[in-house]
Amino acid sequence: MLEVLIVEDEPSYLDALKITLEPEGFSIRMAPDGRSGLAAFESARPDVVLLDLMLPDITGLDVLRSIRQLSDVPVIVVSAKSAEADIVTALELGADDYLTKPYSSRVLVARIRANTRRLAEDDDETVRVGGTVLDPSRYEIRIGGAALALPRKEFELARMLMERHGRIVTRETLLKEIWDIDWGESKSLDQHIRRLRRRFEKLEGAPHITTLRGVGYRLEA
């Protein structure tokens, strides 16, 4: 059973989440502020975190930063803040997904499933492109003597591009395969591509990711 940690201070949202998620088979743990959220995270190590941004003590972004120092657990920000800058900041700090309030319960459940799907799959086939080796058993990419440990979504992105290296992989395919839902996530895709590219640029012999504007991406050795 997947355990969901919900860090949220509004009782009405907590009640609604409990009613939505428990019948879907999730086990729920709730924290009403940032500090208790972090404490719950450290003691329970949940499978996914739903994180509000406006909390009574520390901010949700502080919670996110602290979680990212400990773990690559999927974190879905659920916030009333809908400005582009808020969304981009959260994604840059390592959020896997961002839902604005009010949200649809069905969409929330679909996002949780999408963000935890890879955890359930036993997909450990190694992929090689030139001197680059992608090792799913360790969630890392090795290039020459260097090992890159990647956050989950970047890893999936690298995997899809490497499996289809030399060919164009469309944005549509990446959004559908990695984010599951094919609308509204294109900023997140851009962010993840940018981060992955920056990591590669630091390593000699790493593959290049070429952008085909409006179409997709191509990875070349």
Contacts with Ca ion by CB under 5 A lie at: 9, 52, 54
Do the beta carbons of residue 53 and residue 82 sit within 8 Å?
Answer: no
Q: Tell me whether residue 32 or residue 46 sits nearer to Ca ion (CB atom).
A: 32
Q: Could you tell me the smallest distance in angstroms from the CB atom of residue 102 to Ca ion?
A: 13
Tokens encoding 209: 């990711």
3-state secondary structure of 47: coil
Q: Could you tell me the smallest distance in angstroms from the CB atom of residue 2 to Ca ion?
A: 23
Residue with tokens 């996914």: 48
Q: Tell me whether residue 54 or residue 119 sits nearer to Ca ion (CB atom).
A: 54
Closest residue to Ca ion in the complex (CB): 54
Tokens encoding 203: 């390593």
Q: Tell me whether residue 9 or residue 177 sits nearer to Ca ion (CB atom).
A: 9
Q: Could you tell me the smallest distance in angstroms from the CB atom of residue 97 to Ca ion?
A: 18
Q: Could you tell me the smallest distance in angstroms from the CB atom of residue 108 to Ca ion?
A: 16
Q: Tell me whether residue 54 or residue 147 sits nearer to Ca ion (CB atom).
A: 54
Q: Which residues pair with 220 in a beta bridge?
A: 208
What is the rounded distance in angstroms from the CA atom of residue 17 to the CA atom of residue 9? 12
3-state secondary structure of 42: helix
Q: Tell me whether residue 13 or residue 200 sits nearer to Ca ion (CB atom).
A: 13
Q: Could you tell me the smallest distance in angstroms from the CB atom of residue 104 to Ca ion?
A: 19
Q: Tell me whether residue 54 or residue 215 sits nearer to Ca ion (CB atom).
A: 54
3-state SS record for 114-181: HHHHHHHCCCCCCEEECCEEEECCCCEEEECCEEEECCHHHHHHHHHHHHCCCCEEEHHHHHHHHHCC
3-state secondary structure of 103: coil
3-state secondary structure of 69: helix
3-state secondary structure of 87: helix
Q: Could you tell me the smallest distance in angstroms from the CB atom of residue 151 to Ca ion?
A: 25
